[in-house]
Chains A and B, each alone.
Chain A
Amino acid sequence: MTSEGELLDGPLSALADAVSSGATSARSLAEASLARAEKARDLYRAFLSLDAGAALRQADRVDRRVAAGERLPLAGVPLAVKDNINVAGRPSTAGSRILAGFVAPDDATCVARLVEAGAVVVGKTNCDEFGMGSSNENSAYGPARNPWDPSRVPGGSSGGSAAAVAARAVPLAIGTDTGGSVRQPAALCGLVGWKPTYGRVSRYGLIAFASSFDQAGALARTASDAARAFTVMAGADPRDATSLATPVPDAEAGVRTGVEGRRIGLLAEAESAEGGLHPAVGAIFARTADALRAAGATVTRVSVPRVSLAVPVYYLTATAEASSNLARFDGARYGARRDGDSLASMYRGTRSAGFGPEVKRRILLGTFALSSGYHDAYYGRAQKVRALLARDFAAAFRDVDAILCPTSPEPAFPLRAKTEDPLAMYLADVFTVPPSLAGLPAVTVPAGFSDESLPVGMQFIGPADSEPLLFAFARAVEEAFGAAGRRPPGAVS
C-alpha cells in the first residue's frame, strides 16, 4: 500500500485515484500535507496561514462524497492558495499590512471550482504585497525562500505557492499572474506553471492589482497535473464580466498529444534581451530547441519586434490600473485603519501606514502616468504600443504554432540582490510580461539546471485558446530532460 507521503510526492492523478478507490482517505492526506506545510512555513515562510480545522472538515466532506459514489478529478488533493485569492472564512492579506485581519466572505470562483472537484485547501501562501514583485521580498510578512537554496528567492509574486509545491508540502497551488507572477516563481522553483488566455479563468475573488492583466493560474510538478488544474479552473462565470463564454479547450487531451509536425518559433529577441541571458539559461534554451526538433517539431526563429518594449509598456499600464484599483483601500470599510480627524486624513494615514514601499512606488508611477500633462506621453503611448505588440504576436502566429523563450533571464537570485534597484527587478520580467500584455496563454516547464543546481524554466507562448498545445510542448520537454519532478534538497517529508 502506498503511503500518504509517497502520494503527496507523486502525480495528482494517482493521488486522486487512491482517494477515489478507498486506498487512502482525503483526511489522511490532509493530515500528512498539514504536517509538511508547517515545516514549509517554518523553513521557507511559504504559508501565511494554515487552518487545520477547516482543511480537515473539507477533507471529511470529500470522503463522504467519494463514499456516496461521486467521481472527483481532484479527490483529496491538498491545495495551497495564494493569499490574494479569497477562500471563504479564511484570512486574505494579499501580503499587505493594510489587509491584516481581513476574513474573506466567500470563495473565489477558481477556488470554488477546485473545491467542488475535491481539492482540500490546506493554507494560504506568502506573496509579494498585492502581487507586486518578482522575488517575494515585498511581502509585509517577510520573504519566502527557495527550497532549492534557502539563501535565494523563490521568485514572485506567487513565491509562497511555488515554495510550497517545490518543498512537497502540497502537489498543487494556485496563484495570480499579472505580469508573470505564476510563471516566474514556477521556473525558479523547478515547477510547471501556467497563465490562461485572458478571460478563460474567472477573476472573481482575486484581490485586484491590474484588471486587464490579472489572471489566476496554477503551479504543479508536471504538465499533466497542471493541465488537470486548468480543466477544473477554466470556464465562464457570470460574476466576472471579462470571462470567456466560448467552450474550454481540452487541455487534458492536449497534454497527451505529441508535438510531431507542430511549428515552434524561437523568440529571436531572446538572446539580445536587455541585461543578457545567464549562460545556463542560454544553453538550456538551445538544448530545448534541439529536443523539440528531435521530438518531431519544426523549429524556426520568429521575431516579435516590440518584445523589448514590453517592460516599459507593462509598468506604465499595470501601475496605472493599480493606482485606480488600490484606491479602495482607504480604511473605511475593511482592513487596518489609521484614525484621523477628517475623512481625508484617515485615508492618507491608513494608506501611508498600510502600504509597503513597492506598492507606494507603483501607485505613484501609475498616478503619474495618468496625471494631467503626462497622460498622453506615458499611459496613452504605452497603450498604443501594447496594441502594436499584440499585432506583432498575431503576425508571428501566422508562421508558428507557439513561441519558445526562457521564462526568466536567470535562475533564482540571492535574497536582497535587487531590492535596492527597482528597475533591475522590473527588467527580470522581460519574458513574462509580453504574453500578459497581449492576453495570451503561456506555460513554463523545467528544462534543466544551472551549475549551482538551480532549476531553469522555458516558456511556451501561444495564441488564444492554445493551452492544450502548450501543455503538449511542456510534456515533450519533460520527456526529453526529466527535469520535472526532480526533488529539491530542501523538500520536506
Chain B
Amino acid sequence: MRIDPALVSRVASLAALELTDAERDDLAGQLTRIVEHFEALRAVPEELLAAGEPAPEMPLRADEARDGSPGALVESNAPGFAHGHFVVPRVVSRDA
C-alpha cells in the first residue's frame, strides 16, 4: 500500500513527533517502499496461520512489595525537579 504524506502526519501525531515537510515527504517514500516489501507476509496461506499449540503459561512471581524508592540520581537526572516532584509545564489552568 502507498503511505502518503497525510498518513505519515497522522501517525507522527500519534507518536508525538513533529516532522518538517521535507521529512514527512521523505518518510512517505521510504515507508511505502518498506511496507510494500513487507506485504510478502500476505502470501502465507491462511490455513498455516491457524493457532498452533497455545503458548506456555507465563509463571507468575510472588506478589511481594519491594523498595521502589528511586534514590538521589532521580533528582539529578530530571530536567526539572522541586519539592519531591518532576516539574513540567502547567497542565491545568483557570482559563483553559
Contact = CB atoms under 8 A, between A and B. Distances in A.
A391 B52 contact: yes
B40 interface: yes
A1 interface: no
Nearest to B52: A391
B82 interface: no
B61 A103 contact: no
A382 interface: yes
Contacts of A388: 44, 48-49, 52
A312 interface: yes
A348 B18 contact: yes
Q: Which has the most chain A C-beta neighbours within 10 Å: B37, B38, B51?
A: B38
Interface in B1-60: 3, 7-8, 10-12, 14-19, 23, 27, 30-31, 33-35, 37-38, 40-42, 44, 48-49, 51-52, 58-59
B89 A342 contact: yes
Interface residues of A, number: 60
Given A361-B31, A364-B27, A332 B86 contact: yes
Contact of B77 (A334, A360, A365, A391): A334
Contacts of A361: 27, 30-31
| Size range of the chain B interface in the assembly | 35 or more
A367 B89 CA distance: 26
A274 to B, nearest CB: 9
B41 A423 contact: no
A51 B96 CA distance: 49
A245 interface: yes
Contact of A344 (B14, B16, B27): B16
A312 B41 contact: yes
A268 interface: no
B65 interface: no
Contact of A387 (B37, B52, B59, B70): B52
List 3 tightest A-B contacts by C-beta distance, closest first: A337-B79, A312-B38, A105-B73
19 contacts: A101-B77, A104-B73, A105-B70, A105-B73, A245-B59, A332-B86, A333-B77, A343-B91, A348-B18, A352-B18, A364-B31, A368-B7, A371-B11, A378-B35, A378-B38, A384-B44, A388-B48, A388-B52, A422-B34
Interface of B: 3, 7-8, 10-12, 14-19, 23, 27, 30-31, 33-35, 37-38, 40-42, 44, 48-49, 51-52, 58-59, 61, 70-71, 73-74, 76-80, 86, 88-91
